[in-house]
Amino acid sequence: MLIDIIKNRRSVREYEEKDVPDEILLDIVEHARLAPSAKNLQEWKFIIVKDKERRQKLCEAAKNQKFVAEAPVVIAGVATYTDYVMSNGVTACHVDLAIAMEHIALAAAERGLGTCWVGAFYQEKAKEVLKVPDNCKIIALMTLGYPKDKPVEKRRKSMDEIICWEEFK
């Protein structure tokens, strides 16, 4: 069940040295392709990085977080149109890519793969490594692979701590 996948998904920072087959990666990214987006624009690209040297360069762009280089795969979620601001004042590309990348995380978890969101990276350095054009923006990097160990469960706030009825309290 989906709730079990969500409950068991964890951020993984230690991976087995084991290749993830392309057909599994394509299936996982299919889930991102099907994600909703503002005005259904789907203004995104997903760059799948398996090359060890390029992952090392991404690691350097990601403030030398070692697990970025050690993961067998890194997926970059790239916004190809960054100017559309929704009527709520939020830039759509950030929301769209967050939804799509979480689809990737859940699809990976369903297959026994681990992922970790990486938001701590230098935009220009990462764009250079991945040859992303100036008019685009990398919204997130996500490591992906077979977890070395079972990640420990994290505490989550109770429902009473996060829900308000009718108005903010």
Q: What is the pLDDT of residues 52-78, one digit of tens each?
A: 999 999 999 999 999 999 999 999 999
What is the reported pLDDT for 154?
81
What is the reported pLDDT for 107?
98
d(CA 124, CA 137): 9
Q: State the pLDDT confidence band at 161, using cuts at 50, 70 and 90.
A: very high
Measured CA angle at 133 (ends 51, 78), to 5 deg: 65
Is beta strand 114-118 parallel, antiparallel or unpaired with respect to 73-79?
Answer: unpaired
* CA 5 from centroid of its chain's CA atoms: 16
What is the reported pLDDT for 153?
78
What Cα–Cα distance (Å) separates residue 35 from each residue in 46, 81, 83, 86, 96?
13, 16, 20, 17, 8
What Cα–Cα distance (Å) separates residue 47 from each residue in 39, 54, 68, 96, 145?
23, 12, 14, 16, 15
Q: State the pLDDT confidence band at 137, using cuts at 50, 70 and 90.
A: very high
What is the reported pLDDT for 150?
80
Q: pTM score, two decimals? A: 0.96
What is the reported pLDDT for 151?
72
Question: Using one digit for the tens of pLDDT, what is the confidence trace for 7-52?
Answer: 989 999 999 999 999 999 999 999 999 999 999 999 999 999 999 9
What is the reported pLDDT for 152?
78
Question: Using one digit for the tens of pLDDT, what is the confidence trace for 79-133?
Answer: 999 999 999 999 999 999 999 999 999 999 999 999 999 999 999 999 999 999 9
For the domain made up of 2-148, give the CATH fold: NADH Oxidase (3.40.109)
